[in-house]
Structure 1
């Protein structure tokens, strides 16, 4: 995420390295590179120019403390301005109605249907809502079936009516169905449409007027860059939507849409899609995103994801085992499963300060733990519970059973012992997130 712009900004700030003070000359040179980095990331030209002019104005004339270098000061100012550029604070979705209605809008292929499922899953698990998905795309082949599949994946009911060809009526029927079933959240999935298609734009405007939703969201593929911003302007002029959803952000190394869209349409980014799984949805936090763009990581989001996956009682029992030095391969395997549930391994590692740069050329996919799991699964239950039983002959059998080598088995056992030692040292601390560092070397 944002690898390209992060690298270029990092190089830009190196211009100030070694300077004892901020001057108009060295700031101008640095910000020229910053502006170039923003434009290369497909940020709107006016947004990029206004941004760098503001940073320059704030940087010049500031006294640099003895403990702060000019480069550090400019990075701090840049981070603050990036945060403001993307909206300052996170903006909640409006779920005040009963039922509360959310209308989806956007281009075809932007990810509306998948996001509708992700949002239903988010509202169900994190907000305690009882959602209903409503299939109003009457044009795309198999669109209704796709929404039913998505609904099944997240355990949410879907309302559809294949006999009805008027999406306005389907939306109204869906809301009535939700009321009768005692469902308090309705998510309307609509057909993708081009902003220049007057008939289709009139249709979604009619749906909005007919159902009066609490929230209208514009879903956009972040990988379309500046085109995403232009499309958002066109849709906003017709719908006056309440917020933006950026999908496929995990595949966008540039980040132009995230940096431009708030400034251009004056509407907040509310959610970001960070992967294909149904739980790969995050609330958009401008400050956290600014940290990630500048290579500072995002520890807060990492801890939040961990807290969502780790059962408090499980953690308490694990801490007792660690304190008694009884942590074993069964616990180790369970720990790996919890980490995998938290999301993409590479994305997780990128949240650790400093790790983003170290990993930029590393190919870490979701099968990163496959070899580790195969080795542990090839152990007997007794070996998992009592790792000290694993001798040379057992290692040979484990390697053969897992399709790995004895060297790989030895490496895993060594990593396990190092993890066990570190966890013992941390057993008196409540925050166990330091354990993540032990997994960065576990690749097939």
Structure 2
């Protein structure tokens, strides 16, 4: 097998075979340099020969700039020395991450087979999550870590990186970043781009985030679905309704196709359970909304196999786009929606919230609450509601309806062990269960005492 030759050019990072200049933070701070694509004025990319010539010229420019700092303060000279090291052409963290994202077959949906060794491609959501984490590291503190020489990254450096991610983005993202960077270094070691994995030598472990205990009450969910219809995004209401009655994850609902829905029910193959099949009866609440959806789309000329479609774009939902719309609807419902005299919708949202996915006038605090009755009453509890809570709500409702563990597992796809764990987290505090238990105890006591 012929090994692919890679050309390393100082100051240049390659993305999809295209050259880009990524100045280190010191270069940005000391000399005001900014990252740029290496293109001609007509938009065409520089060839390899042109990129090498650009690099030579740029290095000469940097040498001239550094000469001007020789008599500067010690701190300035130290920054210049670090800049010189970073311009040496050694692989940076940016190089390792870019290689992992672009050259790892599993990231690109390809299976690895070597004799009897088989590695399945990464799930689409996992690969997308890795790409988002790569972007986060690139932007973190103006590229402070992105352009560091990989060989110089110690466990201490990695600890600082992960700590900065947790400070800016929270514990869950810090855990994802730690896992991602570890995978990057493992891939680099395998391809002779690194010698050690600094993540494996971290002494401090990150705590596990506490389980999120959140389920929706009936009135909350009714208001949320009505809000979707009110703002002109009924297809989001359809997906929410499916979450409540099917109890399936967001990805499985967004990927549901018409071929999976038949007279016996909807056949789900859960992505996180390696395709575990679940044949679920279709509740009347779902049937009613699907009939309305078919009526809305009856004149469409574009045919997709997906049950749930973005009706503005007339195509399947991208996960992030759906999440943004869902989030904005929850926010609008939390503060309430009023219909003004001219027919427009308005909501007294705080200044730090922005609604972009549907038309809604944001009433400032100075104007106060819009006149008249709200078409969607303010429901503050929805402000922090998430799509993942729909699955938890389905589990809770099934239990409150009197379903046993096996019945719940047959709908949601949880193992029986997981069902018991879910019950502990979601139902231990529910007053309806306590009232039911006291009712049973009272009936037993009255019968026992005669």
Which structure has the larger Rg?
2
Q: Flag whether TM exceeds 0.5 (same fold).
A: no
- Structure number with the bigger relative contact order (C-alpha 8 A, sep ≥ 6) is 1
User: What TM-score results when the alignment is normalised by the length of structure 2?
Assistant: 0.25
Structure with higher helix content: 1
